[in-house]
Every structure is written in C-alpha cells, then in structure tokens.
Amino acid sequence: MKTDILNFPCGKRQFKKNRIVGGEDAQSGKWPWQASLQIGAHGHVCGASVISKRWLVSAAHCFLDSDSIRYGKIMLWRAYMGLRTVNEKSNHVVMRAIKRIIVHPQYDQSISDYDIALLELETPVFFSELVQPICLPMTSIIEICTTVISATFVFFLGHLARTLQEARVRIINQSICSKLYDDLITSRMLCAGNLNGGIDACQGDSGGPLACTGKGNRWYLAGIVSWGEGCARRNRPGVYTKMNLCFRFAATSWLFFSGLSSPVFFLRSPNT
C-alpha cells in the first residue's frame, strides 16, 4: 500500500456502513481526519485535519490575536478528534492539548496568502475507526484526483450546525475565480463551491479540509478553508489554501520537529 511521507497508511476510512451551507449530516467515522480546534468557553473556533499521530494542519489566520482573545496563545487550545457533534462527550472522542503552532513564514495576513499552520499535539493519538490521517498531496489536485471537477469537504460551523457536515463542491477554474475576486487569488489558493451559490464553507469552517479521492480510493487534503465573501453567495466561491504548493513547508516542519530531518524553512511560532 502506498503511504505518506512518514511511511504509514493514510487517506483510508474504516467506518462501517465555518457548517457547510447546503450540506448534510455526516456519518460517524466517515471523515476520520476531521478535527475541531476549541478554546474553553468559546468552544469550536476552527477546523483542522489529522495528518499523523502528532500533527494537525489548519489555517494560519485561526491563530491571529483579536482585541479580546489571544488566539496565538498555545495553552488555550484543545484539539478534539473522533467527533460527530461539536460538544460530543463519549469514550470515542479524543482530546489533546497543543504543544506547538507553526505558522508558514510567508503567511500574509493582508491577502491571506500562505494561509497554513501546523499544530503539534502534546501527546500522540492512537488511530482507530474514528481517527485516521489524511494524505498530503505532493502534486497538483488535477494529477491526484480521479474526479477532478468535484471534491468532498466537511467542517463544523459554530452556531448554525452542531453536527459534522459534508457537501460535494466543484473546483472552480483559477482564472475564473481570479476575475470573480478582482485578482486577489494567488497561485497558493484554489476556489471551490457552486457559482450559483447554495453550497459553501462558512464561518467556523476555517482550517478544515477540502478533500478529494485519488487512485486506490485514498483521500487527499487538496485544500484548507481560508476565506471568501459571505456564505454560499452567487459568484463568490470559497477560497482554500492549495495544499500541494505548501507540501514542502508541511513536510519539512513535520520531519524537523519530529527529529527526523534538518529544517528547510525558517519557522516561527506565535507567542506562548
């Protein structure tokens, strides 16, 4: 079986047979790489994806401080995996504290470019039917996905949907999306949704996965929920960080802090 960069199986589901606007409830274990990043009484703040026993990937903008909350303060965060509902309490739910947050060194807050961050868990998780890693793509989504025109993604949306949602979206041509957003789309971004509106990621979905199936029915992290205008508006598709162009950052950070490689990038973490 083909494996990811740390040589373990990824992108396989073992379940037995920002809410997505226009989505539907997902079955437990259907998307085992989905994680919910939460802060105390504030509850769910952002989504994330499990990529190994110790690492999650999310959006950099999730960790920008606001006037009232220091989102960059690592000790505030908890990652929950194996959830189907945001506040689920069961033996199947896995919770971990965060040890390290690594924001891409080229992240540009003003235009949301390189909107990606890695999170190291304080202790590793054990994979199960409800918790599995998603594969990271090294090539473009067109080369990976057997079904290029659509992808499946699932997120939480704080106050509108308490249950994990899923929706099938269409990947929008890069030049078309760039025109729709007045050339604000960089090469590190991709657009997905429905140009007629009705299906989209939304507030609270940030950092969550845009996933697609590849050869062997394996799931790959094609994108990370980044930004957009409103929710499910006509000609305003969701904008995602293009994961394959950030693969080097993810791989080298992951390997370096796991003690397996030398750093390629100069990495920075928010103040603790």
Q: The tokens of 225 are what?
A: 């929920």
The vertex-213 CA angle with 211 and 214, nearest 5°, equals: 125
Tokens of residue 178, six digits: 């760039």
Residue 206 bears catalytic tag: yes
Choose the catalytic residue: 52, 104, 113, 115: 115
**115 an active-site residue?**
yes
- Cβ-count burial 204-218 (b if 16+ within 10 Å, e if not): bbbbbbbbbbbeeeb
Q: HSE on the CB side for 265, CA within 13 Å?
A: 20
Given the residues 28, 61, 104, 200, the one annotated as active site? 61
Distance, in Å, from the CA atom of 80 to the CA atom of 73, rounded to the nearest integer, reads 17
Residue from 28, 36, 52, 206 carrying the catalytic annotation: 206
How far is Cα 179 from Cα 74, in angstroms, rounded to an integer?
38
Catalytic residues: 61, 115, 206
